[in-house]
Structure formats: structure tokens, C-alpha cells
Amino acid sequence: MSDARALGHRDDVTAFRGKADEGREDHVMCSLTWAVDARGESYHVSADGPWGTAEGHGHDLVAALDTVRRTLEREGWLLAINAARPDVAQSGMLRGSGSDRAYVLRPGTPARPEDMVSLFDDAPPSAVSTADAQKEAYERWLGSFGVPGLN
């Protein structure tokens, strides 16, 4: 993406696979890079680690990152970042603006600005989940207000 504008990069992101409670958990450091094209219309995220390079493109950062996450999940890897926490999600406005901020969600409580975190900041490995489990958690949060879940 030579016409891309870099938005961020980290060389110290924890990725892990396996089960800690079974003593089979592998932890590695990987790098994440996120960028947007020159027009601000397409986002790109890449993760470099023992799996090689996983890349994702999307209309916003979360869509691009979800592609990367799903690629890594097929190999058994999870990223230990806030974007992978089941209690973290972006609003439509944040997604549309290209923001790297998201809300920490609490059942029955509306999202609040003071509860915002960066998508790419560290999260404890015990606090992250798969992309599908995160979607289900978001649907439960919506349901806590009587709003039907997403399909």
C-alpha cells in the first residue's frame, strides 16, 4: 500500500495459542501495523509473527482487524489487545470516523466516553476471545437493553 497513510505500528503485541490451564499455552511477540489509503476509504491491518503475515482490508479498522483475527484464529492464535476483548466494541460513529478508540461495555449500562480504550493497546490474554465470541457478547449487551441482537 504505497499510497497508504500509516496510522500505527507496534512490535510488542502478545499473541498466544493453547490452553493455560492445561500447561500448553504458547506466547510470542508479534508486530501489528494499521493504515488507511490516501482517500480514507479503505483500512489495512497486518500482523507479523510465527504464522508469517496475516493481512486484512476493510471499510474501517475493526473490519480489517477482524479479518486478521479470523485468519490467526484458524491457526489457533489470539491477539492480546483490547480489540479482541468480548466487552469492547466500537459504535457506528467511531467505526465510520476511522477511530482506534472503542467502548468497554457493561450489561445494562450505556457506553460512556470515560470507558473508552484504544483498540490496539494490550489486554490480558485471559480477557480476550475469538471474533465470534466477541460478536455474541455484543449481542448480549444489546439484549440487556431489550434491543434485538445482530444477525
Per-residue pLDDT tens for 69-97?
999 999 999 999 999 999 999 999 999 89
**Biggest alpha carbon distance in the chain?**
47
- Report pTM: 0.90
Q: How far apart are the first and last CA of the chain?
A: 33
Q: What is the pLDDT of residues 40-79, one digit of tens each?
A: 889 999 999 999 999 999 999 999 999 999 999 999 999 9
Each residue's pLDDT tens digit, 11-33: 999 999 976 555 667 899 999 99
Instruction: Give the Cα separation of 100 and 81 in Å (integer).
Output: 12
Nearest to 130 by CA among 45, 89, 72, 59: 72
Q: Which amino acid is at 130?
A: T
Angle between helices 61-74 and 131-143 (to 10 degrees): 130
